[in-house]
Structure 1
Amino acid sequence: MANVSVENLKKNYGTVEVIHGIDIDIQNGEFVALVGPSGCGKSTLLRMIAGLEDVTGGTVSIDNDVINDIAPRDRDIAMVFQSYALYPHMTVAQNMGFALKLAKVPADETEARIREAAATLNLTDYLERYPRELSGGQRQRVAMGRAIVRSPKVFLFDEPLSNLDAKLRVRMRTEIKSLHQRLGATSIYVTHDQIEAMTMADRIVVMRGGNIEQIGSPLELYDAPVNEFVATFIGSPSINLLEGTINGAVFELSDGSTLPLPAGVTGPDGRAVKYGIRPEHFEIVQGEGMTVMKVDVVEPTGNETILSGTIGGQEVQITQQERLNLRPGQEIPVSLRLTAVHLFDALTGQRI
């Protein structure tokens, strides 16, 4: 396995710059996820690392060796694509071993690698089947097996689960994480699904518009987002953002109602900010002087109840583990976990 380094990397298509000088250092054996909205540049970045896109500026290095001008086949990288890209006329074993055949790896070694990868991926009983005889999840495992048999320095995944149904995606992301833990492989994983990134990655790179917004562990990004964009992108249901101003020791909403500020927060009266708090950081309580939420929609999911409504006329969602007997139109008193409140500048979006 290997370290991967991206330094001041840029990508232009004609006069349009889509990657704006980014830097990432990925350690040996680390699983890093690239996330962001469509068009943010995450797949382009992955393809530049793979050598499928030319580098306009900056460098891509593996183990301190710059590989900008090295052909994709010579980079010792294996890539798993969104589409399975299996040869329909070949068996599972033939698909997995095709790259080794092209590389003229001896037949006995090829067979040993195929059987080892098949055992790792629970594909031993399917080696003589054709792709048409497999389920979607089995085909994706074959695509991963084709990468594993090459024993590359780096694994690249380009949204490999996006074609699977929701239940199979959950199972496959568990399998990929388990596979990474067994192989200890350096892996870079592109996804637009932040739940996949949160549950699988050691670190997450959040991208927007060809730039990196923040790099950190899943919980670092969840608990300490550097700006409003990261706060809203990471977490489901999304963080609540209430608009208002600082007024002394309280946050004042447009209707004149107030919310308490976290300890130590200071700022000039009248400063426009957004008050961020995640849905699980509300608690339904009884008592005078509590914040009041008007309930509009009640969504029982079994393990929790999601409430949508308004505070001070602004939309919020809260989640509660209890099975609540509430109805639309009802007003409920809630308290907020102030240590989990995030304040963002209304103009810049940066965390205060």
Structure 2
Amino acid sequence: MSGRWFHWPLLATLAVMIALVGATPPAALAAPATGAPGAVSSSDIATECAGKPVRVAARWYFPPGQPTALVWLQHGFSRTAANLDALARSYADAGFLVVSPTLDSVNLGGCAVAYNVADNAAFARTIGGVFGSGRELDSPLAASLLRARDSAGRPDVTMPYRMVFSGHSAGGEFVVVAADSLRRADPVAYRRLAGLMLFDPVNSFFGVNFASAAASLGADRLPVRVIASQPSVSNNFGQGVSVLEQTTQQRFLGSRLVTGIHIDAEGESTDLIGELSELAVPRPRNGRVIRALANGWSSDMVAGTVTATYYPGGRYYDLLLETRTVTTLPVR
């Protein structure tokens, strides 16, 4: 989940423990969704990596009506799309069409969500290109949506023009690198990207892909919002957030949860591996704050607006400050 190669033996051991004891995740902890329930279906996305064709499993989440934008929601190291299910449903309830791929965590060819045993920058660039071509009727992303909407009984849904790249942990790094690649390779498609919504992003132990991509996007003034947890081993002691504070040139970057842990973004969708890696369970209050701010900030990115209540000086945000729920991330 942290995107570090040295966590893999621990996580593998935890997985064996879960299999032996037959453990299951705890009951749902977060507040129920506020909108009408949307349909969910699965559909692979055809792409390639290391010169070979691959099919990436993905979950599609449909809003009650026509979507306002597409959200690419990417999980972190040792995780799957299922671990972000609660967050994805919240996005869909807020009017977004969400696609949440499941990527490998370790791959000798670099076809993974994290840079660990091999550089995954080329894979991130390839996946970013898939989203860049998403509105083309013959594109792999559009084909995946067609299958998913038929399965979900939502033939009315069409691919939105605007999109937000969103990622948790190592998935945050992955979407940042993908976004900068899209900026360089396809400026027309890049104009569709409204911004980045990152949940406790973690930069890989190797390389400078994250830092260089963040600096390039910062120079381009792409909107970036971050919800961070407290520094810990799981997020490499907050180094990913520090990079963003120094490079993205935002007037307002985001917030840090005062009692936050790395798996708060997963909420009730986490599992025993996540809980054992933190020696804690997600706090329902933090999950509600994460979803409220992410939906508000993402909606503003798409619409080009500023909904005052979600920012310093606004009623909701200032209440979070007053109750010591969040602090505001500094920017350079």
- TM-score by structure 2 length? 0.28
Structure with more contact order per residue of length (Cα contacts < 8 Å, sep ≥ 6):
2
Larger Rg: 1
Whose strand fraction is larger, Structure 1's or Structure 2's? 1
